[in-house]
Structure 1
Amino acid sequence: MEELLQAMRAIAEPTRIRILALCAHSELTVSEIVQILGQSQPRVSRHLRLMVEAGVLQRYQEGTWAWYRLVSRSALVTGKARYSDRVASLAEELIDLIPDDDPVVSRDLERLDNVRRERERQAAEFFASNAEDWDRLRALHVDEAEVDAAVLKAFGDRTINRLLDIGTGTGTVLALLGRIAGSAIGVDLSPQMLSLARTLIDREKLTHCQVRQADMYQLPFDAASFDAASLHMVLHYAEDPVAVLREAARVLAPNGRLVVVDFAPHNVEELRARHAHRWPGIDDKLMQDWFLEAGLEGEPVEKLEGGALTVCLWKAVRPEQAENNHPASVIAGNT
């Protein structure tokens, strides 16, 4: 009862309801909320603090920036006790009760669209500045539509309730699998990549998807938090691929599936020289050995040939009786 009363007290104020509505549509920083509401930063920060303490908003630190989003039942995958399913239900039901034609909220959402357009502009600038390198890389392998179709097929025989995309980059896997997943989180170390991923998530209206800054060697989630995970064109950057796979296995639930997309062995030196690839492709036997070391059961590889680079899809599952001796990582960014 006290938990629900605290949540209702935290929401029962006009500005806080406006903030709640905004954070239900998109992850936002304090400065973006200030810009939309036209109120002072100290006042907005106080509202945010009270709502986070009551568990109706989640706060995530990303470098010097703090991001806020509505607590939702579909996103409660971290095992963090402070975020209650009851409070999440209350917040979601309240959002549904706000009239679509409310003039104040409608104006706020128009200003939110301006924020999104600015994110789109910055994303377009980034893509334009790197277009030549990316186009050259794409020309070396099979069409990306074929890769996407293969990834969907790799997960197609099971229901995805909680997906983790490790090394999410621009968020393309979230956009691809987000429509068939109950909830999804993408992690990356690069703030710029996370910004691009947020832009894509907003554009696709995937409010049940989110991104977080995190290290693939030390994921900020409890053991067995996800029933599916992906590593899409990530492992060739890893100094210690087994450590990455072991961490992925730790956060997978028993019988959870991991899909790794990467290149077969190749002689394209440009990828090491210009794109910082640590591994010039990965041999199938080596990948199966890595799976074994990480406590995963590997499945047959699928190869997509076309061009100088062959794209491989490796699938693995965490065994039902697998022992997880790795301590759960501390949940980061929720303070």
Structure 2
Amino acid sequence: MSLSADHAVEALRAAGEPTRLRILALLASEELSVMELSRILDQSQPRVSRHLKLMADAHLIERFPDGAWVFYRLPAYGPVRRLADTVLDLLDNADAERDLQRLEDVRREREIEAETYFERVAPQWDRIRSLYVSESAVEAAIERAAGPGPFERLVDLGTGSGRMLTLLGRRARTSIGLDLSQQMLNLARTNVARCGLDGAELRHGDIFATRLPGQCADLVVVHQVLHYLTDPAAAIAEAARLVMPGGRLLIVDFAPHTIEALRREHQHRRLGFADSEVRGWLSDAGLKPAAPIALPPDREGLTVTIWTAERAQQGRSAA
């Protein structure tokens, strides 16, 4: 697929300004909000918004609202992304280096906020989740969606209190839970030990770079994690990389909602996900999505959606 001459000229014109080139370099790293870009660039939000609008109108970047916030990102692939990458590769820009250093400051602050939150809520983690949905109904649906097993290896990314390990671990010969919070890992270790799951291992690990071998698990679970992440598509791609031929990826998260308090008080970066968005990420990662399962709340609250996808069995022989 190629760009038309008119589209290429329009995109290049939209990029043809120093601040916009700086924005492109930042968005090549991750999706960012207007507020975050304004802080990194040390420019007013209205000025940054004008630059973003010009580039979005030229389809050079993608704009997506999420509750009261608006995020921007480069296209994941395609001719426009190749054009942007080519332009950025040709730049020798000291401003871009300084911007990336400021981006690291923003990331560190996010991490500190998230760690502080997780440490504060770790003992009540399961109780907080139960405030929004019927946890028993969700877990019963998760068990059905996972399938009866037995599984050779279960991997739980962002394991939190270890609930998915204790729920599904008896169906697996071995299981691994990864989390960045040592406080949560300590809680998970206690819960796993109480359930007598001798084959479960808890590791400090990053959902974006698990350091686990590719196609190593026949069941990978990402339970109520995506809404905290800056790049959920990248997390799904890494999770999908771990799925062996014939194996399954199971994702549990919220459907789109408008409860801004979850962002302010509980560090939710995204207010839920549309089916089309998640299914697109799963397909892009090389998996075949199944029909999602929607679980509306018993009372006013959040709808939980369960997405599953499998890696084709015929890939086993090629591997």
* TM-score, structure 1 normalization: 0.55
Contact residue 249 and residue 310 of structure 2 kept, 8 A: yes
Q: Which amino acid in structure 2 is aligned with residue 191 of structure 1?
A: Q
Partner of 1:261: 252
Out of 309, 328, 332, which is 2:302 matched to? 309
**Could you say what secondary structure the match of 2:184 adopts?**
helix
1:170-189 equivalences in 2 (<5 Å): 170-189=161-180
Kindly state the Cα deviation for residue 240 of structure 1 after the two structures are TM-superposed: 1.1
Return the alpha-carbon distance in structure 1 between the equivalents of residues 210 and 137 of structure 2: 30
Kindly state the Cα deviation for residue 129 of structure 1 after the two structures are TM-superposed: 8.1
Partner of 2:132: 140
Partner of 1:150: 141
Contact residue 154 and residue 172 of structure 2 kept, 8 A: yes
Q: 1:238 to 1:128 in 2, by over 3 A?
A: closer
Q: Which amino acid in structure 2 is aligned with residue 139 of structure 1?
A: L
Which sections of structure 1, spanning at least 5 residues, go unmatched?
Answer: 1-125, 324-335
Q: 1:170 to 1:129 in 2, by over 3 A?
A: closer
Q: 1:241 to 1:182 in 2, by over 3 A?
A: same
Return the alpha-carbon distance in structure 2 between the equivalents of residues 273 and 128 of structure 1: 15
Contact residue 256 and residue 274 of structure 2 kept, 8 A: yes
Contact residue 180 and residue 206 of structure 2 kept, 8 A: yes
Contact residue 242 and residue 293 of structure 1 kept, 8 A: no
Contact residue 122 and residue 183 of structure 2 kept, 8 A: no
Superimposed CA distance per residue, residues 43-84 of structure 1 (whole angstroms, 9 cap, x where no aligned partner) = xxxxxxxxxxxxxxxxxxxxxxxxxxxxxxxxxxxxxxxxxx
Could you tell me the percent identity over the aligned residues?
A: 40
**Could you say what secondary structure the match of 2:213 adopts?**
coil
Q: Which has the higher contact order (CA 8 A, sep 6+)?
A: 1
Kindly state the Cα deviation for residue 250 of structure 1 after the two structures are TM-superposed: 1.2
Q: Which amino acid in structure 2 is aligned with residue 194 of structure 1?
A: L
Kindly state the Cα deviation for residue 137 of structure 1 after the two structures are TM-superposed: 4.8
Partner of 1:191: 182
Superimposed CA distance per residue, residues 188-230 of structure 1 (whole angstroms, 9 cap, x where no aligned partner) = 0111110000011111111111110110001121111111100
Return the alpha-carbon distance in structure 2 between the equivalents of residues 259 and 140 of structure 1: 20
**Could you say what secondary structure the match of 2:307 adopts?**
strand
**Could you say what secondary structure the match of 2:170 adopts?**
coil
Kindly state the Cα deviation for residue 159 of structure 1 after the two structures are TM-superposed: 2.6
**Could you say what secondary structure the match of 1:179 adopts?**
helix
1:16-165 equivalences in 2 (<5 Å): 131=124, 135=127, 137-141=129-133, 143-165=134-156
Superimposed CA distance per residue, residues 127-180 of structure 1 (whole angstroms, 9 cap, x where no aligned partner) = 88864x865652222x11111111111122543110000000010000001111
Kindly state the Cα deviation for residue 181 of structure 1 after the two structures are TM-superposed: 1.2
How many aligned residue pairs are there? 196
Which sections of structure 2, spanning at least 5 residues, go unmatched?
Answer: 1-118
Does 1:167 find its partner at 2:184? no
Return the alpha-carbon distance in structure 2 between the equivalents of residues 209 and 174 of structure 1: 8
Return the alpha-carbon distance in structure 2 between the equivalents of residues 244 and 321 of structure 1: 25
RMSD over aligned Cα atoms? 2.1
Q: 1:273 to 1:162 in 2, by over 3 A?
A: same
* TM-score, structure 2 normalization: 0.58
Contact residue 243 and residue 294 of structure 1 kept, 8 A: no
Q: 1:139 to 1:275 in 2, by over 3 A?
A: same
Contact residue 234 and residue 262 of structure 1 kept, 8 A: yes
Does 1:276 find its partner at 2:293? no
Partner of 1:91: none
Contact residue 148 and residue 171 of structure 2 kept, 8 A: no
Out of 217, 223, 229, which is 2:214 matched to? 223
**Could you say what secondary structure the match of 1:147 adopts?**
helix
Partner of 2:92: none
Out of 280, 294, 307, which is 1:289 matched to? 280
Return the alpha-carbon distance in structure 1 between the equivalents of residues 128 and 189 of structure 2: 25
